[in-house]
Structure 1
């Protein structure tokens, strides 16, 4: 594999940092931002704490900004760069996590689209029932599959227009929330615990936003013009994701003062729809549902490519059947068996956040400790690179396992998940911290061994 096969060709590096802002803004102007706001409120925080948690959680996009900057500097996409930290074969582990991340978010989008359609059924006075859920799932899932016949250029144009329309409608709805919000109730909310309330709220938002998106950040950064400002790439990526996410989460916090059940309901979209004037609710939810369809198709194609990097190569029809089955079975469980979207969503983010937080911590520590002079191509080339970088792999495994030991939820109880670690997602921060410590210890051991050799 030559340099041109590792690095993005100069002729393809045409993006400006400003273009990154639009790309990340469009990716995060979604109705899930309101859901994140509802989850923050569920941690029993005061209004000030909830808004601050929204801000700090949104600023987790500093991580993708950093990764994007590395991608621009090297002209290499994320999972080729991470070969240096994990080894050629060892890199397949984060590849698997990335695939799970992609498939999980696909399922979340399918569930979201289904619940949006169920809420829209209210227009024709059809109440929510197992039958209407099934019909909505068939309709939305069918739209996703049928959209597979559209090419990516068409999907991109549709997504662009829907993003602008959705963004404008969101501003209008935020204005309605500001006028309808019960400000007295919001201001009088009692303060919650900073350790067992505020930090877990931040961690769950970070897991679903900045940490989750970090795996794709260098894929965009690598296509930025080589001579463009790296600082601009960092800030445009960071702000492009953080600004819409913070605004939407703040809107979710405000909405909880109008509809207190938003933080505990199994169907947050139904509660949200009930809080809106019917005329705008219909339009808003239609645009939101439509915007999810192109995202789902593009993610399906990306999931297939990700499988290929792991070494599992399947045809497009087989990939569609495989991923389609998975992303339908998960919504069936959540919608018909569990019946609670928010609790399952938090469960997904908690588990995934631990794996991804330790991954990105190892990746960035490797970049800081060993790649300040750049990445050697031989480390990223299958024919010459080491099969395993045990320093990175062991750090990731130790950090991930430790994170789970400090985590408990509906299906798992870690032996150390007591006190401030009980019933929250602080294991995400634990995993990241342990990864940094392990990489630091690895660096010290390496330096001592070099000193002995000399």
Structure 2
């Protein structure tokens, strides 16, 4: 086994060979603190300021907004940290480990939705990076890259789109080792520049107006704010926590994996949420503009000497999030059973993102709003599956984290586990029936369990139904598995399905 504090000495950087197989103990390296920069660089984004504005807009005062947002972040990120523990224990990415719970074929249902959700956000990130770069060039060299109204030319946007996509895929195709190195430097750069940005934005907060507003939200409104924070950040990462932790040694302390994962996600977004909330409470005009266009409205406040480098950092941070997301999306395709290499999945993702981002930037003027509503709907499936997997961790630990349970049925796994699938189906119906959508088409398939009056309530508009679905799914599965003891797997059952010790564990 390699030393836990050293990188593998393979003689140079190579494309990662491991796919969704269990990473051998001999290839494990690193320490749990290395998880912090990966998650930090993914989440230190100017969009975090808009998240604070969104929570405040529910009708909370400034202090309620800050507390609800931070509590929501901590809870959801803590759940991601718990699921990340499965990475070092099994050496598997999260969406492969969920086969323990749902079975080899049954796992394809939640994995498909997780893949769609992840790819949707990557399309959005690549689009934002491309348009931000084009806006920067249009401002610096208007004669060459700007139209008469100051907007970037089509060629400028297309050029930045190609560059953004190429940079993202170039890093993602190499895999875990390069990503861990790159994200460490990006975390330092974006963290340092964000500190300067915060100091430059602070004068735009009218401190004499902070906290003077008379409005105060109810307890239900506060809960709605916490739930909104959970859905904006942590819950979207439930299916990927183990992807970056699976190269850690098997005996890495769970507490450290949870701590560094939780801190890496929650720390940057909490700081930015506080800033956004203070802006919303004291500067309504600025907060309204930031809610619609957070990047342009906030960067326009910066002096030119900082606007240029910070715009570059914004682009880097967006691409950083896209890189890690593309890597996880590739693993999700493999978990679905696609018979290709991990590197090949990057090419497939590049094509999908290329078409999606091209449509978003050059054809559609309303796709983003519709797609965001769609992502909120499928988060019901993702969140419920994550809750069931969290409950199943108890069973997986009792079984000794036996990786053969993630194999095909003929190689020691299960085709499907009806207890988990039943819990997921019921939770999905409950979740879709208790959330609402601003998109008129998606609105027809959600909210069917709500009355007309309830559809307009905070419970519906804040998507508290997502949490209800998670509790429902986890509760049903816990009842079936640990109370009624249905499908209880004995040690002898596990032994009969194991592969021989001498047999290498290839694609699962």
TM-score range, shorter chain: 0.7 to 0.9
**How far apart are the structure 1 equivalents of 2:401 and 2:487?**
22
Aligned pair 1:436/2:436, yes or no? no
Deviates more, 1:43-52 or 1:153-162: 153-162
The runs of 5 or more residues in structure 2 that have no matched partner are 1-18, 489-508
Deviation at 1:134, TM superposition (A): 4.2
Decide whether the 8 Å contact of 1:69 with 1:234 is kept in 2.
yes
Task: Decide which moves more: 241-250 or 251-260.
Answer: 251-260
2:37 paired with 1:11: no
CA distance in 2: counterparts of 1:270 and 1:321, whole angstroms? 28
Cross-structure match for 1:328: 358
Q: CA RMSD in A?
A: 3.1
Of stretches 300-309 and 393-402 in structure 1, the one that deviates more from structure 2 is: 300-309
Report 1:90-129 matches (<5 A). Answer: 90-117=106-133, 119-120=135-136, 121-123=138-140
Secondary structure of 1:353's counterpart equals helix
Deviates more, 1:81-90 or 1:177-186: 177-186
> Does the aligned pair in 2 maintain the 1:207–1:352 contact within 8 Å?
no
Query: 1:222 — aligned with what?
Result: 246
Where structure 1 has 5 or more consecutive residues not aligned to the other structure, the ranges are none
Q: When you count helix as a share of all residues, which structure comes out higher?
A: 1
Q: Is residue 38–residue 184 contact of structure 2 (8 Å, CA) maintained in 1?
A: no
Paired with 2:225 and 2:279, the residues of 1 have a C-alpha distance of 17
Does 2:446 align with 1:416?
A: no
Listed as ranges, the matches of 1:38-117 within 5 Å are 38-59=53-74, 60-117=76-133
What does 1:195-214 align with in structure 2 at a 5 Å threshold? 197-214=221-238
Report Cα offsets for 1:187-206 as digits up to 9, x if no partner. 12344434553333322322
Please tell me whether the aligned partners of residues 74 and 222 of structure 1 are also in contact (alpha carbons under 8 angstroms): yes
SS class of match (2:29): coil
Q: Do the aligned partners of 1:83 and 1:90 also contact (CA within 8 Å) in 2?
A: yes
| Contact 1:29-1:245 within 8 A present in 2 as well | yes
1:64-121 deviation digits (Å, cap 9, x = unpaired): 1111223333443312321111011011112212211221111120232244235533
Name the stretch that deviates more: 202-211 or 156-165: 156-165
Q: TM-score, normalised by structure 1?
A: 0.86
CA distance in 2, matches of 1:128, 1:249: 36
Counterpart Cα distance in 1 of 2:379 and 2:148: 32
Query: Is 1:375 aligned to residue 427 of structure 2?
Result: no
Please give the alpha-carbon distance, in whole angstroms, between the structure 1 residues aligned to 2:135 and 2:151.
14
Aligned 8 A contact 1:84 1:379 in 2: yes
Q: Secondary structure at the match of 1:7?
A: coil
Task: Confirm or deny: 8 A CA contact 1:119 1:273 kept in the other structure.
Answer: no
Q: How does 1:296-445 map to 2 (within 5 A)?
A: 296-297=322-323, 299-313=325-339, 315=344, 317=347, 319-332=349-362, 336-338=364-366, 347-368=373-394, 371-382=397-408, 383-411=411-439, 412=443, 413-417=446-450, 418=454, 419-443=457-481
Quote the offset at 1:184 in angstroms: 2.7
Pairwise CA distance, 1:25: 1.9
Shift of 1:308: 3.0
Deviations along 1:286-325, whole A, 9 cap, x unmatched?
A: 2111333354355445434422331334656555323321
